[in-house]
A and B are shown apart, each in its own frame.
Chain A
Amino acid sequence: MFLNQFLLLAAVLFCIGVYGVLVRKNGVLVLMSIELILNAVNINLVAFSAFNQNIDGQVFALFIIAVAAAEVGVGLAIVLLIYRNRRSIDVAEANLLKG
């Protein structure tokens, strides 16, 4: 009963995150949207962990938080690189490679 609410919350967050990834043009915002999804995952994991009385989920969540930081670090570096070369962080403009 309690579980469902957490799962619902996670699902909503996931959807918002996905929406952000799909529609935002700003690279940084896209990265932030991904963070939202990861947080949705974390909520899921923690909720299940609690529900199943199993610590693994929480451990997993910790790993995810750490890895997400690394991902965002790398992501921002690349966005910055793009900004330097293009003076723009609009991901829609990056379409040199296609076909």
Chain B
Amino acid sequence: MFAAEEVSWLFRNVWLIPALPALSFVLILFFGKRLPFKGAEIGIASVVVAFSLAVLTTFAWIGNIQSAESHSEEAIFLEGPDGEQTPIVLTAEEAGEARGAPIITEVEWFSIGPDANKVILGTEGNSDAGHDEDGHSDDEDEDGHSDDEDAGHDDDEEEGAGFGGDDNVVDVAFAEDGGTVAEAHGDRFSISIGTLVDGQSVMMLFVVTFISLLVHVYSTDYVKGDRRFTHYFAFLSLFTSAMLFMVLSTSTMQLIVGWELVGVCSFALIGHWWEEKANSDAALKAFLTNRVGDIGLLIGMSILYFAAGRTFSIPRINELAVNGTIPKGTLTIAAVCLMAAVMSKSGQFILHTWLPDAMAGPTPVSALIHAATMVVAGVYMIGRLYPVFFIGFGIAGSSINLMAFIGGLTTVGGGALAFVQKDIKKVLAYSTVSQLGYMVLALGMGAYTAGMFHLFTHAFFKACLFLGAGSVSHACHHSFDMKADMGGLRKYMPKTFWTFMIGSGALAGIPPLAGFWSKDEILVGAGVWPNTGGNGTYYLPFVFGMITAAMTAAYMARTIWLTFFGEYRGHDEPHESGARITTPLIILAGMAVVVGFLNMPSGFVKFFGAPEGLAHRFEDWVEPAGVSTFVTSDNGFTHAKPSLSLAIVATLLALTAGGAVVAYYRALYAKDSKATEYTDGVMSRIPGLRAGHKFLEEKYYLDHLYTGAIAGGTKGPLARATDWFNQNVLDGIVNGVGKLSVGLGNFIYNIIDQKAIDGVVNGSGNSASGAGQFLRGMQTGQVRQYATLMFGATAVVAAIFIFAV
């Protein structure tokens, strides 16, 4: 598709993709207000360019893989006879293309350690890469050493790439540099910053830039007239940049930096309308909850840093995890720590509570940050360091582990909570929690590709749903209350309705929409269904997954019916949103329809007689070479086989649950098109007066009974219980921890600090002063007493010296 040089240039310069939005952030911040569109144009332009580059990169990458496949035998041939691993003269580009291995471009960020020679470590692709992602000149950083040593580095890199022929080594280019150089120069080590291009990161590049672009466009209408319009766009740019920066991380240090930066953007955007305390509270809650998880991140990364022989390099860490250099016990501890970070960032139980609150931010932000991109950072990080988790949690051959359990719990819990929300965004937020749980569940069962694929598809349909919700709210005068202000919107805003329907269908896993494919793959990955294989036998997670499949359909049906059916309950006439809002919706709905086909099972492809090459494309493209080798190595994971029967069962389950809810609301609306739920007639009316009427309505009563038994059973006690647990216990814990900290702070400050410690300080002063006062009293002014003291002291001292000493 592209010439080799272009491909190479593209891979080496993906840093431009995050750099552009970063530049745009700075420009908007300083000049945005003076521009005709208040800075939005800069943001959009930068994202357009970034998106174009991302698309080019994506295609280049795909082309890369395709050509690698067609040449794979050749590549094997090249390495086959070379058992002694002598360097093969092969350029990095060639090697990368040949293997589909990650392409790493890094510069040294800084280095610490004893080394007088000041050797610059790490691979330096070319001097153009000597700029970091934010457009700052990096020259000082390198102290002018880079130029003269450039050539040498290129050599290193080529050698390293040569080793890339070895199956067990993920990125030997780095291993060669980072490893041997560190040994040769004592403990000096460098922290590099750069870009790592592989399937996973390319996938995310595409998703982030794509959705970011749509959200930018959408926002020009949605937040039009906002007093902080410019700042809003500035932060959107910053977020995009930070997210891309994180996605492209080559080192865990870079990952941490990106991780925190997206967090702060999230903070700023959740609190966009900070005049109201509820919003800033939500922002604080989001940030602080994430900070809690970050404890795990910092500690986990520290553990890995030392375990991997003082390096932050992600490929190096993975490599050492795979080849058993890092003991399993260490990996387990690191994985548990990192899990905490995943729990906070990706909204897993029990650190998920910030995510629904984060809906206080503008809706496009929710779509971009709190549905499609930032919240999947945790999932992404698991994928990045998958060997660590896989081996650390002993995923292979197991039936449960921490990750799968947390994922399972989250997915069910989140789904249940989505039932009782009356705020449409909250529904979607809990749904996001639930779906993130699904992804984590998948990864916890070893279904790496399924997890990543779900991440990919979810981004589109959930963004579609959020933007749809935004559109609805735009129509309903900025209310998100489904019960109070919506209903019957189908008639008023058809575009929104249809896109929302598609999104919901995708989310519920209705074939052939995107969610169906990814969800099915996850369920297969449990390895429980007959003839699926998989990594273990994850019964409990499988059950969780099935329950969620049902619940998802049910709560989305409820949401749709409450919003779009029945009769409009709000005031004024709602209206369809403008083109800038609906166009992104349509595009996203389109994506929600098509992206699922990217990873069709080969059986399905055969069944329809499509070309074999169309099967599991996503898997081929996204599973990085490193993980591929991981797949085939002794302790690697295996792919599960797809199962048609499971797909049918799961779909039926979803349809049944959804259908039950639909039936419930149809019945309800038939009774009162403005009602939102049954006001429980039995309990509220005086039996004597209303008995006849009740009998007349027996049909409805039965209806209520039946539907209530199915939908209400979930919706009622269980969901309420979950909700209660969520609001009172979990939130209580979060708030309690906060209150406890403040209380403890007060105690420490008021009692320990001010009374005890300061007391000692002041007390010693006072006692000295008191002693002075006492001694002063001995100075009576009586000269005879003075003389007595004088002679008495003399006598006493003399006596002591004569008799005692």
Do the beta carbons of B783 and A96 come within 8 Å of each other? no
User: Taking the complex as formed, is B787 at the interface, i.e. its CB lies under 8 A from any CB of chain A?
Assistant: yes
Q: Interface 1/0s, chain A 69-99, versus B by CB < 8 A?
A: 0000000000000000000000110111111
Give the top 8 A-B pairs by smallest Cβ distance, nearest first: A98-B781, A95-B781, A99-B776, A22-B788, A91-B783, A99-B779, A21-B787, A98-B779
User: Taking the complex as formed, is A16 at the interface, i.e. its CB lies under 8 A from any CB of chain B?
Assistant: no
Residue from B777, B779, B782, B784 in contact with A23 in the complex, judged by beta carbons closer than 8 Å: B784
Do the beta carbons of A91 and B784 come within 8 Å of each other? yes
Residue from B777, B784, B787 in contact with A25 in the complex, judged by beta carbons closer than 8 Å: B784
Residue from A21, A95, A99 in contact with B782 in the complex, judged by beta carbons closer than 8 Å: A95
Q: Interface 1/0s, chain B 768-781, versus A by CB < 8 A?
A: 00000000110111
Do the beta carbons of A98 and B780 come within 8 Å of each other? yes
Do the beta carbons of B784 and A96 come within 8 Å of each other? no
Do the beta carbons of B779 and A22 come within 8 Å of each other? no
Do the beta carbons of B787 and A22 come within 8 Å of each other? yes
User: Taking the complex as formed, is A11 at the interface, i.e. its CB lies under 8 A from any CB of chain B?
Assistant: no
Do the beta carbons of B784 and A92 come within 8 Å of each other? yes
User: Taking the complex as formed, is B791 at the interface, i.e. its CB lies under 8 A from any CB of chain A?
Assistant: yes
User: Taking the complex as formed, is A18 at the interface, i.e. its CB lies under 8 A from any CB of chain B?
Assistant: yes
Residues in chain B near residue A91, CB distance under 8 A: 783-784
Give bound CA distance, A80 to B779, whole Å. Answer: 25
**Cβ < 8 Å to B, chain A residues 3-62:** 18, 21-23, 25
Do the beta carbons of B787 and A97 come within 8 Å of each other? no
Residues in chain A near residue B791, CB distance under 8 A: 18, 21-22
Q: Interface residues, chain B, CB within 8 Å of chain A?
A: 776-777, 779-784, 787-788, 791
A18-B791, A98-B779, A98-B782 known; 11 other A-B pairs, CB under 8 Å?
A21-B791, A22-B784, A22-B791, A23-B784, A25-B784, A91-B783, A92-B782, A94-B781, A96-B781, A98-B780, A99-B779
Residues in chain B near residue A22, CB distance under 8 A: 784, 787-788, 791
Residues in chain B near residue A25, CB distance under 8 A: 784
Q: How far is the CB of B773 from chain A (nearest CB, A)?
A: 9
Give bound CA distance, A94 to B777, whole Å. Answer: 17
Would you give 5 A-B contacts (Cβ < 8 Å), ordered by A?
A: A22-B787, A22-B788, A95-B780, A98-B782, A99-B777
Give bound CA distance, A91 to B781, whole Å. Answer: 10
Residues in chain A near residue B783, CB distance under 8 A: 91-92, 94
Give bound CA distance, A25 to B782, whole Å. Answer: 10
Give bound CA distance, A97 to B779, whole Å. Answer: 9
Give bound CA distance, A78 to B368, whole Å. Answer: 99
Most chain B CB neighbours (cut-off 10 Å) among A23, A91, A95, A98 = A98
Q: Which residue of A lies closest to B782 (CB)?
A: A95
Q: How far is the CB of A41 from chain B (nearest CB, A)?
A: 15
Residues in chain B near residue A98, CB distance under 8 A: 779-782
Q: How far is the CB of A67 from chain B (nearest CB, A)?
A: 20
Q: Which residue of A lies closest to B794 (CB)?
A: A18
Do the beta carbons of A97 and B781 come within 8 Å of each other? yes
Residues in chain B near residue A99, CB distance under 8 A: 776-777, 779, 781
Residues in chain A near residue B776, CB distance under 8 A: 99
Most chain A CB neighbours (cut-off 10 Å) among B781, B788, B791 = B781
Q: How far is the CB of A2 from chain B (nearest CB, A)?
A: 24
Give bound CA distance, A29 to B781, whole Å. Answer: 19
Residues in chain A near residue B782, CB distance under 8 A: 92, 95, 98
Residues in chain B near residue A92, CB distance under 8 A: 782-784
Give bound CA distance, A95 to B782, whole Å. Answer: 6
Give bound CA distance, A96 to B782, whole Å. Answer: 9
Q: How far is the CB of B770 from chain A (nearest CB, A)?
A: 15
Q: Which residue of A lies closest to B781 (CB)?
A: A98
Residues in chain A near residue B788, CB distance under 8 A: 22
Q: How far is the CB of B722 from chain A (nearest CB, A)?
A: 77
Residues in chain B near residue A97, CB distance under 8 A: 781
Q: How far is the CB of A30 from chain B (nearest CB, A)?
A: 8
Residues in chain A near residue B781, CB distance under 8 A: 94-99
Q: Which residue of B lies closest to A21 (CB)?
A: B787
Give bound CA distance, A67 to B267, whole Å. Answer: 91
Give bound CA distance, A47 to B483, whole Å. Answer: 121
Residues in chain B near residue A18, CB distance under 8 A: 791
Give bound CA distance, A97 to B783, whole Å. Answer: 10
Q: Which residue of A lies closest to B780 (CB)?
A: A98
Give bound CA distance, A22 to B777, whole Å. Answer: 20
Q: How far is the CB of A34 from chain B (nearest CB, A)?
A: 10
Q: How far is the CB of B769 from chain A (nearest CB, A)?
A: 14
Residues in chain A near residue B784, CB distance under 8 A: 21-23, 25, 91-92
